[in-house]
Protein backbone atom coordinates (compact mmCIF):
# COMPACT_ATOMS: atom_id res chain seq x y z
CA UNK A 1 0.00 0.00 0.00
CA UNK A 2 2.75 2.53 0.68
CA UNK A 3 4.42 1.65 -2.59
CA UNK A 4 1.09 1.88 -4.34
CA UNK A 5 0.61 5.41 -3.03
CA UNK A 6 4.10 6.25 -4.15
CA UNK A 7 3.39 5.08 -7.68
CA UNK A 8 0.21 7.09 -7.71
CA UNK A 9 2.06 10.17 -6.54
CA UNK A 10 4.81 9.82 -9.09
CA UNK A 11 2.20 9.42 -11.79
CA UNK A 12 0.37 12.51 -10.55
CA UNK A 13 3.50 14.62 -10.56
CA UNK A 14 4.52 13.41 -13.99
CA UNK A 15 1.14 14.16 -15.48
CA UNK A 16 1.40 17.66 -14.05
CA UNK A 17 4.85 18.04 -15.59
CA UNK A 18 6.51 18.50 -12.23
CA UNK A 19 9.81 16.96 -11.28
CA UNK A 20 9.74 14.29 -8.61
CA UNK A 21 11.28 15.74 -5.49
CA UNK A 22 11.34 14.48 -1.93
CA UNK A 23 9.31 17.41 -0.61
CA UNK A 24 6.55 17.06 -3.16
CA UNK A 25 6.24 13.34 -2.61
CA UNK A 26 6.16 13.71 1.18
CA UNK A 27 3.53 16.41 1.07
CA UNK A 28 1.34 14.44 -1.29
CA UNK A 29 1.71 11.43 0.98
CA UNK A 30 0.40 13.52 3.83
CA UNK A 31 -2.58 14.52 1.75
CA UNK A 32 -3.36 10.93 0.90
CA UNK A 33 -2.90 9.74 4.48
CA UNK A 34 -5.14 12.30 6.15
CA UNK A 35 -8.33 12.43 4.19
CA UNK A 36 -9.25 15.85 5.49
CA UNK A 37 -7.99 19.28 4.58
CA UNK A 38 -4.60 20.37 5.78
CA UNK A 39 -3.18 23.71 6.69
CA UNK A 40 0.37 24.89 6.53
CA UNK A 41 1.18 24.12 10.14
CA UNK A 42 0.18 20.49 9.62
CA UNK A 43 2.96 19.98 7.14
CA UNK A 44 5.56 21.33 9.49
CA UNK A 45 4.33 19.07 12.28
CA UNK A 46 3.29 15.94 10.43
CA UNK A 47 6.38 15.56 8.35
CA UNK A 48 8.86 13.71 10.51
CA UNK A 49 11.72 15.35 8.76
CA UNK A 50 10.73 18.98 8.86
CA UNK A 51 11.01 20.89 5.64
CA UNK A 52 11.80 24.52 5.42
CA UNK A 53 8.72 26.70 5.78
CA UNK A 54 9.47 28.43 2.54
CA UNK A 55 9.65 25.17 0.65
CA UNK A 56 6.24 24.17 1.94
CA UNK A 57 4.72 27.47 0.88
CA UNK A 58 6.21 27.14 -2.56
CA UNK A 59 5.21 23.52 -2.94
CA UNK A 60 1.62 24.23 -2.01
CA UNK A 61 1.56 27.17 -4.40
CA UNK A 62 2.87 24.93 -7.17
CA UNK A 63 0.20 22.34 -6.44
CA UNK A 64 -2.43 25.06 -6.54
CA UNK A 65 -1.17 26.29 -9.89
CA UNK A 66 -1.30 22.81 -11.33
CA UNK A 67 -4.72 22.13 -9.85
CA UNK A 68 -3.49 19.28 -7.70
CA UNK A 69 -4.92 20.86 -4.58
CA UNK A 70 -7.49 23.54 -3.89
CA UNK A 71 -8.09 25.97 -1.07
CA UNK A 72 -11.08 25.84 1.23
CA UNK A 73 -12.63 29.08 2.49
CA UNK A 74 -12.29 29.81 6.20
CA UNK A 75 -13.36 32.65 8.44
CA UNK A 76 -9.99 32.96 10.09
CA UNK A 77 -6.52 33.55 8.73
CA UNK A 78 -5.68 29.91 8.32
CA UNK A 79 -5.49 28.61 4.78
CA UNK A 80 -6.74 25.08 4.27
CA UNK A 81 -5.82 22.86 1.37
CA UNK A 82 -7.48 19.71 0.11
CA UNK A 83 -6.35 17.40 -2.62
CA UNK A 84 -8.40 17.68 -5.77
CA UNK A 85 -10.42 14.99 -7.40
CA UNK A 86 -9.88 14.43 -11.08
CA UNK A 87 -12.54 16.89 -12.18
CA UNK A 88 -10.71 19.74 -10.49
CA UNK A 89 -7.53 19.40 -12.43
CA UNK A 90 -6.54 20.69 -15.82
CA UNK A 91 -8.92 23.65 -15.93
CA UNK A 92 -9.81 25.96 -13.14
CA UNK A 93 -10.09 24.73 -9.61
CA UNK A 94 -13.81 24.68 -9.33
CA UNK A 95 -14.82 22.52 -6.44
CA UNK A 96 -18.14 21.00 -7.20
CA UNK A 97 -18.63 19.60 -3.78
CA UNK A 98 -19.40 20.72 -0.27
CA UNK A 99 -16.81 21.26 2.45
CA UNK A 100 -17.58 20.32 6.00
CA UNK A 101 -15.89 21.77 9.06
CA UNK A 102 -16.37 19.89 12.33
CA UNK A 103 -16.66 22.13 15.35
CA UNK A 104 -15.61 19.32 17.68
CA UNK A 105 -12.44 17.93 16.19
CA UNK A 106 -11.65 20.87 13.97
CA UNK A 107 -11.15 18.76 10.87
CA UNK A 108 -12.28 19.83 7.46
CA UNK A 109 -13.51 17.28 4.96
CA UNK A 110 -14.60 17.25 1.36
CA UNK A 111 -18.03 15.72 0.93
CA UNK A 112 -17.59 14.52 -2.59
CA UNK A 113 -21.02 12.97 -2.87
CA UNK A 114 -22.87 16.08 -1.81
CA UNK A 115 -23.52 18.31 -4.77
CA UNK A 116 -23.70 22.03 -4.62
CA UNK A 117 -27.21 23.23 -5.36
CA UNK A 118 -27.91 25.74 -8.08
CA UNK A 119 -28.14 29.24 -6.74
CA UNK A 120 -29.94 31.92 -8.67
CA UNK A 121 -28.57 35.36 -8.04
CA UNK A 122 -30.19 38.72 -8.82
CA UNK A 123 -29.87 39.97 -12.38
CA UNK A 124 -26.52 41.40 -13.38
CA UNK A 125 -24.39 38.91 -11.53
CA UNK A 126 -22.12 36.49 -13.37
CA UNK A 127 -21.43 33.34 -11.40
CA UNK A 128 -18.07 31.66 -11.87
CA UNK A 129 -17.73 29.59 -8.76
CA UNK A 130 -19.76 28.60 -5.72
CA UNK A 131 -18.21 27.60 -2.43
CA UNK A 132 -20.25 25.92 0.27
CA UNK A 133 -18.83 25.39 3.72
CA UNK A 134 -21.01 23.61 6.23
CA UNK A 135 -20.04 23.58 9.87
CA UNK A 136 -21.38 21.32 12.56
CA UNK A 137 -20.53 17.94 14.06
CA UNK A 138 -19.03 15.26 11.85
CA UNK A 139 -19.72 11.57 11.65
CA UNK A 140 -16.80 10.57 13.85
CA UNK A 141 -17.51 13.07 16.64
CA UNK A 142 -21.22 12.51 16.76
Partner DNA sequence: TATACTTTTGCAACAATGTTGCAAATTAAT
Partner DNA sequence: ATTAATTTGCAACATTGTTGCAAAAGTATA
Give the footprint of DNA on this chain (CB under 7 A). Answer: 18-24, 40-41, 51-55, 57-59, 61-62, 77-79
C-alpha distances (whole Å) from 43 to each of 39, 60, 119, 129 are 7, 10, 35, 28
> How crowded is the C-beta side of 20, counted as CA atoms within 13 Å?
10
Residue whose C-alpha is closest to residue 29's, from 49, 8, 50: 8
Q: Does 128 bind its own copies (CB under 8 A)?
A: yes
Please choose which of DNA, its own copies, none residue 98 contacts, taking the beta carbon within 5 to 8 angstroms, the exact cut-off set by kind: its own copies
Which lies closer to its own copies via its Cβ, residue 26 or residue 109? Answer: 109
- Angstrom distance (rounded) from CA 138 to CA 41: 22
Which residues share a beta bridge with 69? 83
Smallest gap, in angstroms, from Cβ of residue 60 to DNA?
A: 8
- Site track for its own copies across 30-69, x = CB under 8 A: ----------------------------------------
With CB under 8 A as the contact rule, the residue among 16, 23, 62, 74 that binds its own copies is 74
* Burial of 123: CB neighbours in 10 Å, binned 0-12, 13-18, 19+: exposed
The binding site for its own copies (CB under 8 A) comprises 71-79, 98, 100, 103, 111, 113-114, 117-139, 142
Amino acid sequence: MPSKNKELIVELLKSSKLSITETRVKILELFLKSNGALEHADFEKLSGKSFDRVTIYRTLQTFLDKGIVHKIPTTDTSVRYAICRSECREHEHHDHHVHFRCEECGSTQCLDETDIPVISLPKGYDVHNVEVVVSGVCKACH
